[in-house]
Amino acid sequence: MSGAEASQNSDRRLPSRMFAQVDSAAALGESQRQMLEAILPRHAFTLMMPMGADAGGLRPLHQPFRITIHHDGLPTPWTNPNERATAVYLERIRQFHVQPPPEGRGWADIGYHFAVDVAGRVWQLRSLEWQGAHVKGANEGNIGIVALGNFDLTAPSAQQLSSLELFTDLLCCGYHIGWNNVYMHGELAANATSCPGTYLADCLRQLRARRLADTANA
Ligand SMILES: [Zn+2]
């Protein structure tokens, strides 16, 4: 990354809207508090700001009412737990998302709001100020989480899965979203996609059913 790119950085803030709301929620458990404090801020993987905000590339997220879970789905499954290597990997995804077609997607910023990596770390990606670009035609009020890996080819690690559950809980708690509004990409997509991959989808289907049953029995 060049000095010129680095100098564009002014977004060293944590996702303030989320944190403001979650901090005031008395219902957080100790593990959720620890997770909140451990979220890696955006500048841990990129110093680049979103591009084209004034060109209409970004729309306000407003109040989120649903969450969608993805995998990155790249052909060679990402299985590296190293933090530094993961930061580089996330930056490569961001670059692909912002590069103009045909090389990239031509979006204003990385498409997802958060990533959960192989070791179970949570990374802040696109600011929650803005709608994501992760479910075509259904990005309104939709928080996008990407689990790093290709779960059509490999199963998620236990740490990744438990972090994904805990973090989704944290968002549900902070934004008063029920597990009935936690989706897998394939459930909302207009065009068929296996995202977030069959292995992860199986896990998430069971998890969601369990959480909905817990709610029903509470
Ligand atoms: Zn997806």
Centre of ligand 1 to C-alpha 185, Å, is 5
Give residue-wise pLDDT tens across range 51-66. 755 545 788 888 899 9
Q: Rounded CA gap, 19 and 1, in Å?
A: 29
Containing structural domain, residue 152: 3-217
How many degrees, rounded to 5, is the angle at CA 28 between CA 143 and CA 26?
Answer: 110
DSSP for 94-120, please give it.
HHHHHSPTTTS---SS-S-SEEE-TTS
Which band of pLDDT confidence, cut at 50, 70 and 90, is reported for residue 3? very low
Give residue-wise pLDDT tens across range 181-211. 999 999 999 889 999 999 999 999 999 999 9
Centre of ligand 1 to C-alpha 215, Å, is 27
Kind and range of the H or E run holding 206: helix 198-217
pLDDT, residue 189, reads 93
Centre of ligand 1 to C-alpha 72, Å, is 7
Give residue-wise pLDDT tens across range 22-43. 555 556 778 888 888 899 999 9
pTM: 0.88
Nearest to 200 by CA among 142, 169, 158: 158
Number of domains in the chain: 1
Count of CB atoms situated within 10 Å of the CB of 76: 7
pLDDT, residue 146, reads 98
158 contacts 202 by C-beta, under 8 angstroms: no
- For tokens 């929620």, name the residue: 25
Centre of ligand 1 to C-alpha 3, Å, is 33
Average pLDDT value for residue range 121-126? 96
Centre of ligand 1 to C-alpha 74, Å, is 11
pLDDT, residue 122, reads 97
User: What CATH code is carried by the domain that includes residue 157?
Assistant: 3.40.80.10
Whether the pLDDT of residue 8 is over 50: the answer is no
Whether the pLDDT of residue 6 is over 60: the answer is no
Give residue-wise pLDDT tens across range 86-95. 999 999 999 9
Centre of ligand 1 to C-alpha 103, Å, is 19
